[in-house]
Each structure stands twice: as structure tokens, then as C-alpha cells.
Structure 1
Amino acid sequence: MATATEADAMRRAIALAARALGSTSPNPVVGCVVLDARGRTVGEGWHQRAGGPHAEVNALRAAAEAGHDVRGGTAVVTLEPCNHTGRTGPCAQGLIDAGIARVVYAVADPNPTATGGAATLAAAGIETEGGLLADEAAAGNAAWLTSVLHHRPFVVWKYAATLDGRSAAADGTSRWISSAESRADVHRLRAEADAVVVGSGTLRADDPHLAVRGREDVTQPLRVVVDTNATVKPGARVLDDAAPTLIAVAEDADTRHLAGVETVRLPRGADGAGLDVAALLTALHERGVCSLLLEGGSTLAGAFLAAGAVDRVIGYLAPALLGSGPTALGDAGIGTIAQALRLDVTDVTRVGPDLRITATPIAPATASVPEEN
């Protein structure tokens, strides 16, 4: 049974793993803490980028560089050590070679190409224990786990609104509903995501840039525009070279004016007006996108919710009232209170003058994505 020291080490490993959110896809985020035979922390590491050393290797390297002996020690890892050779060697074998006597991990690896590390460790005589703080570790790795288990990206819907749910005033003005602190926090969300998506309506109304600003050493997310009829104009800010961009259009859309811009052709939804959400998510998954930040607008957000394709909701509520104007959420296919999409609130945090509310849907629905007006 895991000790209190190992539990503390796992909490630290989960925090270390989070440092690489947005930088490891299509790999998971993983943290590792190495304890010596007396239970003292002698090495820490995390997987920083796909193709680079894994968390266990970095932690063992840190211990060695500090002159610590890890033989007979314990490795505490957020994910079962991998058991395959890809761009790097198998971590299970690395722990064996280092003389580690015990491995405690949080989440079993569901990837069929990498699983089996615990069995390899046990066969080598190393004591192994899984499941320590599994829920916490899985929450930190939700994007990768969703990608592996469900073959689609993990979708976070972000919105900003007044307390009465308005995303803009009656005249269409919306800058700025939320505070500077909230807007800076959104750039953190972008930095943690593999892709950021908006609809064509938001593109026409706001000409958003969608790249991460104000943060150093980040991997810019893929900017995705759901533009069924290819209405985006050359010169749109999202088409600059600050970050990669993908325009999702219908199979019959005329894209001759988008020469040099990467596009993906997708089938229309059941109503024929917009793109099929499942096809969009599949296309992004095939590009290695594990996490998707849905930024707007209200029509697209409603469509994703109706499609059961939102895994987390993050709302920035400003202490202001408008009384009229566009709402933050459009038609989500809900016609009666009995169909309301109930949420489990997991966090409420003050960000500047605003409230940031994080919640997860309890019961998703199904639908397709309409064209945003």
C-alpha cells in the first residue's frame, strides 16, 4: 500500500506533468518523482515535448546529475511506465537498469502500443503498485486519455459573458466584456491546447487572431475556422504566419481564393447548413490534436453542445449587465427544461473582477454542427 510520502510525491508528479500541457501531443503529459531508499526526493522530471525524453528518464537523469544513488529507491509516476520503443526507449527497462526497487503509478496506460510496463517491471522483480491518486492524474491527462480511448480531441468550451449571459451589447460591441486578467488567462488556455476553433460568424464579426500572446516558450496551437462555405477573406488575421491555420469547409465549397491556405473538406451536417461535428473532430484527431479550445461563437458553441462534443465548460462572468444583445450560447437542441444540459461545477475562481467557473457536462446530447450566421 502506498505511503504518505509516496502520495505527496504523486501530487508533486501531477503538478510537474501539468507544466507541459499543450506541448506533448500526441503524447501524454507525465510527471515523475524519484525517491531514494530512505524515501527522500532525489530526482524530478516531466515529459516536456513529443520525441524528447520521458518523465522517468528526466527524473533519473536529474538524480544522477545531483550525485544521488537511486538503487533500491522508488519511482512515483503519473502514468504506467511505457513498454515500447518509439522515438525513445521503453521507460520500464530504464527503471530496471537504474536499479529502482519499487514503482508506484497513478493511471494504467490504455495505449495498446505502450502498455505492459507494469508487467515488465514485475517480471524483473520490481514491486509495482497502480492507482495512487488515479482520478487526479487522469484529470490532468484528460485530453490524451480522450484521444486514446475515444479517438477524438478533448473539447473545452470557453466563453465570456455578463452576469445576465450576454456576450455582446445590442449594437454588437463586445470589447471588452471580460477583464484584462481574464483575457490573459484565456491565453493560458490557448497555450495548453493543441487547437483553437471559431466559427465563420466570429471570424467575420471580430477578425480574431487566436494565437497565444504574452507567454514565452509555447507551442502555438493550430487555429481552426469552421467556415462551411469558405467565406474567409484573404488578409484575415487568422491567416498570418503567427501560428498554423486550418480552414474546415464543405466538400462542395469553392476555395479558389484560398490558394496556399490549408483546408480540409468535410461532409455537411444532417440539416445541410453546416459541417458534421463528428467528421470535424475525426479530422483533427488524425492531425494529432488531442485538446481543442472552442472559443466561439454562440452558434458553434450550441452546435458542439448539442453534439455531445463538449467535455469541459469554462465561463468568465463579468460583473456587468446589458439586458439585451447576443447571448453566449445559441441553439443547443434543447426544447424543454427536462432536456437541460446539467453541469457539475468543479471550480470557481476570482480572476481580476470576474468569476471563472469551470464545469463538466453530466449528460451530453447528440446533433450536428450548423453553419454559424
Structure 2
Amino acid sequence: MGRAVELAARGLGSTRPNPVVGCVITDASGTVVGEGWHERAGGPHAEVNALRAAGPAARGGTAYVTLEPCNHTGRTGPCAAALVEAGIARVVYAVPDPNPQASGGAATLRAAGVATESGLLAERAEEGNAAWLTSVRLGRPYVLWKYAATLDGRVAAADGTSRWISSAESRADVHRLRAEADAVVVGSGTLRADDPHLAVRGRDGLTAADQPLRVVLDTRATIRPTARVLDEAAPTLIAVAEEADTRHLTGVEVVRLPHDKYGISVDALLGELHRRGVRSVLLEGGPTLAGAFVAAGAVDKVVGYLAPVLLGAGRTALADAGIATLTDALRLRITDTVRIGPDLRITAVPAGPFVPTALKEH
């Protein structure tokens, strides 16, 4: 199952709106005879790829799958039926499928006489498929907030300069995060200050269709026609307030959304992205945008790149997030720390349920 989880990760960034899934098949004696993963939306699922690799050796064997085999016909046929047809005798899956349209695969397998077990390495499989599982369970994309800061928590100097706080190695690692995301989100402040391109670099053979959707939150539609996000390297969506004047925005897709004191409504934005099939968001905006997402209770993971640099003044990583007292703080649990060049990359997730102050007031 551990190998199946590793295989599933190979599909990150290319299976939207489907989950990432890995499968390993052993023959009747326990020897691995087939491996597969869901490589691209619309293509064969992990189980089918593994069955093809195993061939006749799959008969009487066991399939280890990170997600309960699907039970519906979409662009591909049901995996539960494919496993039965191949003569698989036992299926071990890590996580039950929460999607009501596709669940029920285990019941179909049992009805056909196939032994089934669930829960093996469920926590690891859940973590690897967190984006899709979050989207199904909460009806919104999974949000990873990434930032780079000095050791004293500054993301820019007093004069506004911020390039480059982190190392080249850390910046290359950010492109990995972009490649694994369905959408990259920034605000108009970051756009004005840095004019980011937001497309994935450093990966051969990546077409515009393979790139994550670039999303700019621009309440008053102030984006300049020369902004680099408006090129054809990747698709771009500009989110503006309902009353914004967008006559100057030609040749780019615009969506009008309600706004609140933080700017474009985070809930409305995530709802719109979910409707478009986006299952994972990389939040690359500055402190103001990050504060809005935290205030909305919409940050699922934080990745911070801490550079061995001190500034003493300048913008901090997080602006107003609607947290007025320490007891209301968003507490995090560190899940990983690793050196990236001279920097330290810290990964953390919410330690428990977080109720935004705005919700408490209601």
C-alpha cells in the first residue's frame, strides 16, 4: 500500500477534477505483478493500468488501492467491475470513496465474491489525496498557502523590496508546488508590486493546457494590460467586484463576485473555482490576501520558506486575519521540516477545528 501511495502522487496536477489514485497488484503468491496510477483525467484509472501491467497473473491475486474502486461509468468504466472481470480474489483499499456518484465499489466486489478490506495506511493515503477529498467533503478546493519570509517573519523590507528573500533552491521548490496545483491565486497588491508570471517553469514538455489556472483577485479591475499573467503561457482568470468597470479587460476571462471588507469574497471565489473543476489552490498572494483566507477558515496547509535573513522592519507574512485575541489563534501542527538550500521549509496544518471570528459573532 505504501508503494500505491507513492504511485498516486505521480498524478498530482494532472488528474483534475479526479482524485489521484495508485494501485499495486500481487499474484496469488504475493509477488508484485502490476503497478499503475491515474495519470490524467479521462484516461484509464489506476486499477485498469495496474491490471494491464499484470495481465493473466492478476487472476487469484490481490489489488492494493489507495481509494475504494469506483462503481460508476463516466469517461471510463467502473473499476470494481474491471477487478472482478480480471479474477482478482482480494481488494485492499485505504480510503472509502466519499463521492456518492462513484462509491459502492466495495459492495459490488463483495457481491461478486471478492474479499475486501479497508483502512490500510489510510492516514497516508488521505494526506496524498487531500485536495480531492477536501473538495468532495467541503464543496470547495483545498488551499495551500505558501510564503517566503526572513527569520524574523518579514516578507518585504521597509522600502517594499522582496526579491529575493528566499534562495534559488526554494524558488525551484515553489514551481513543484505550482505544478501540483490546479490553480495559483494572487491578489492585486502582489500583482502591482511583483508582476509575477505564475506559470510553472523548469519542466520539459509542459503546454499551456498543462499549466495551473492563474487567478488574480482584483476587486476594482486595476490590472495593467502589460501584466505578465495576461500572456498565453497559461490560462488566466480575473476575479473582480460585481460593480467593477472591466471595459479595458479584453482577451481575458473575467468573473464578477461579491466582496467584503477583505476584498473579493473568499467563499464566493472558492465556490466559483470548485464549479470550474478546480480541486487544489496554491495561494501565493501577499499578507492581505493570506489574511482574508485565514479569516474565512479556508487555509488547509501552510508551507513557509524561512531564509536566514534579518530585516527588523517591513511587511509581515500575515496581515489582519480577524483574530483579535490569542485564544482565537489558528494553531498549527508541524508535519515536516527540511532544509532547502540555505533555507528551512516548514510545512504545517491546522491542529484542530478553526472557527473564524466572523462566524463566532453570528
Tell me, yes or no, whether TM beats 0.5: yes
1:305 aligns with 2:294: yes
Mapped contact 2:328–2:357 kept (Cα < 8 A): no
Match of 2:339 among 328, 336, 350: 350
**Could you say what the CA RMSD is over the residues aligned between the two structures, in angstroms?**
1.1
CA distance in structure 2 between the partners assigned to 1:171 and 1:36 by the alignment:
64
User: Which amino acid in structure 2 is aligned with residue 256 of structure 1?
Assistant: R
After TM superposition, the structure 1 = structure 2 runs for residues 19-30 of structure 1, keeping only pairs within 5 Å, are 19-30=10-21
Residues 249-277 of structure 1: per-residue CA shift (max 9 Å, x gap): 000000000012101100111x3x61111
The equivalent residue for 1:264 is: 255
The yes-or-no answer on 1:92 pairing with 2:83 is no
Match of 1:105 in 2: 93
Shift of 1:216: 2.8
**Distance between the aligned counterparts of 1:276 and 1:340, measured in 2?**
21
Which of 17, 36, 40 is residue 49 of structure 1 equivalent to?
40
Per the TM alignment, residue 26 of structure 1 is displaced from its structure 2 partner at its CA by: 0.6
* Residues 217 and 114 (structure 1), Cα distance of their counterparts in 2 relative to 1, 3 Å cut: farther
Match among 308, 327, 352 for residue 319 of structure 1: 308
What amino acid maps onto 1:99 in structure 2?
Answer: G
- Note the alpha carbon deviations across 1:144-184, whole angstroms, 9 max, x for none: 00111111000000000000000011111111100000000
Shift of 1:326: 1.1
Distance (whole Å) between structure 1 residues aligned to residue 204 and residue 22 of structure 2: 21
Distance 2:139 2:128 in 1: 18
Residue identity matched to 2:305: Y
Name stretches of at least 5 consecutive residues in structure 2 with no aligned partner.
Answer: none
Do residues 296 (structure 1) and 276 (structure 2) align? no
Return the alpha-carbon distance in structure 2 between the equivalents of residues 315 and 149 of structure 1: 26
User: Contact 1:246 / 1:262 at 8 angstroms: preserved in 2?
Assistant: yes
Classify the secondary structure of the residue corresponding to 2:224: coil
Per-residue displacement from partner, 1:112-135 (whole Å, max 9, x unpaired)?
111110000000001011111111
CA–CA distance in structure 1, aligned partners of residues 302 and 355 of structure 2 = 15
CA distance in 1, matches of 2:219, 2:355: 23
SS of equivalent residue, structure 2 residue 134: helix
Give the whole-Å Cα distance in 1 for the aligned partners of 2:114 and 2:315: 60
What is the alpha-carbon distance in structure 1 between the residues aligned to residue 138 and residue 201 of structure 2?
A: 31
**1:93, 1:210 → 2: CA distance?**
41
CA contact (8 A) 1:306 1:364 kept: no
Alignment gaps of 5+ in structure 1:
1-9, 369-373
Aligned to 1:364: 354
Amino acid at match of 1:21: L
Return the alpha-carbon distance in structure 1 between the equivalents of residues 121 and 142 of structure 2. Answer: 21
Residues 148 and 165 of structure 2 are in contact (CA less than 8 Å); yes or no, is this contact kept in structure 1? yes
Give deviations 1:279-330, integer Å, cap 9, x for gaps: 0100000000000000011100011011100000000000010111111111
TM normalised by structure 2 equals 0.96
Corresponding residue for residue 121 of structure 2: 133
Match of 2:220 in 1: 229
Equivalent residue number for residue 6 of structure 1: none
* Partner Cα separation in structure 2 for residue 217 and residue 133 of structure 1: 34
Matched to 1:198, the amino acid is V
Question: What is the distance in 2 between the residues matched to 1:323 and 1:179?
Answer: 19
TM-superposed CA distance for 1:233, in Å, is 1.0
Paired with 1:168 and 1:333, the residues of 2 have a C-alpha distance of 22
Q: Is the 8 A contact 1:248 1:266 kept in 2?
A: yes
Please state whether the residue corresponding to 2:263 is helix, strand or coil.
Answer: coil
> Secondary structure at 2:83's aligned position in 1?
helix
Shift of 1:217: 4.5
What's 2:106 paired with? 118
CA contact (8 A) 2:323 2:357 kept: no
SS in 1 for 2:165: coil
* Residues paired across the two proteins, number: 354
Partner of 2:57, secondary structure, is: coil
Give the structure 2 partner of residue 249 of structure 1: 240
In 2, distance between residues paired with 1:28 and 1:217?
23
**SS in structure 2 opposite 1:241?**
coil
Q: Give the equivalent residue in structure 1 for 2:319.
A: 330
Equivalent residue runs for 1:161-240 within 5 Å: 161-218=149-206, 219-240=210-231
Give the structure 2 partner of residue 275 of structure 1: 264
When normalised by structure 1's length, the TM-score is 0.93
4+ residue runs over 6 A deviation:
none
| Partner AA of 1:119 in structure 2 | A
Correspondence 1:143 to 2:134: no
Tell me the residue number matched to 1:371: none
The alignment partner of 1:347 has SS state of: strand
Is 1:157 equivalent to 2:145 in the alignment? yes
Write the letter of the residue equivalent to 1:41: V
Task: State the 1:364 CA deviation.
Answer: 2.3
Asked whether the 8 Å contact 1:303–1:367 carries over to 2, the reply is no
Q: Aligned match of 2:329 in 332, 340, 356?
A: 340
Q: What is the distance in 2 between the residues matched to 1:287 and 1:108?
A: 25
Summarize deviations over 1:28-85 as a string: whole Å, max 9, x none. Answer: 0000000000000000000000000000000011112xxx511100000000001111
Q: Kindly indicate whether the alpha-carbon contact (under 8 Å) linking 1:303 and 1:332 is maintained by their aligned counterparts in 2.
A: yes
